[in-house]
Amino acid sequence: MLSISEPTLVLWMHIVAACIWIGGQVTVAAFIPLLRRHPDLARRVGRRYQAVAWPAFAVLMVTGVVNVGNAGLHWSQLLDSPAGRTLVVKLVLVALSGIAASVHSFLQAPRRGRASGGSAVGSAVLGSISLIAALLAALYGVALAGA
Ligand code: HEM
């Protein structure tokens, strides 16, 4: 039987966190429209989701940094190799996913709650940007793992 090494364990945590970050967004996107007539419940579902999603995003950051070392990549030479450049693109996508989710979670959705601004379209756009960017980041992650 193969042994479970430290890099394997960290990569496993990275993948589980990615599943939570991406899978949670898909699940919320599927359910929130059903709760349109129950804004209070929709808000509570959103808050519960955030309580799970942001810790998963933090795990992605920490395990991602460890993965970089385990994959033999060096921060100071990222632009010198195809794998390093792939990581740079991936990090731009990770930043985009995190920023879009932050704007939605901490600025746009709370304004909707107070009925003084923000829109369902705004939520859908920000949620889509965050999800698509995370999916592409995962694709580049798989490319990196296979390199
Ligand atoms: C939205 C955030 C992220 C998602 C969805 C994500 C997703 C993934 C996935 C699915 C893999 C493939 C694992 C495999 O096929 O075995 C992966 C690998 C990887 N990720 Fe991420 N990741 C994210 C953030 C990060 C961050 C912030 C970093 C660096 C700081 C990072 C660095 C890496 C590296 C270096 C690998 C390759 C590991 C290896 O070669 O074994 N990831 N990622």
Domain boundaries, the chain: 6-146
The contacts of residue 38 (CB under 8 Å, 6+ apart) are none
Distance CA 134, CA 14 (A): 13
Number of Cβ within a 10 Å radius of residue 98: 19
* pTM, 2 dp: 0.93
Determine the pLDDT at residue 117.
46
One pLDDT digit (tens) per residue for the chain, 147 residues: 999 999 999 999 999 999 999 999 999 989 888 888 888 888 888 889 999 999 999 999 999 999 999 999 999 999 999 999 999 999 999 999 999 999 999 988 777 655 544 578 888 899 999 999 999 999 999 999 998
* C-alpha distances in Å from residue 66, one per residue of 60, 78, 86, 94: 10, 15, 16, 16
Number of Cβ within a 10 Å radius of residue 103: 15
Determine the pLDDT at residue 2.
93
Residue 80 Cα to ligand 1 middle (Å): 19
Q: Is the CB of 104 under 6 A from ligand 1?
A: no
> Left, alpha or beta for 73 (phi > 0: left; psi -120 to 50: alpha)?
beta
* Residue 117 three-state SS: coil
Q: Is the CB of 96 under 6 A from ligand 1?
A: no
* Cα 131–Cα 74–Cα 96 angle in degrees, nearest 5: 20
Determine the pLDDT at residue 63.
98
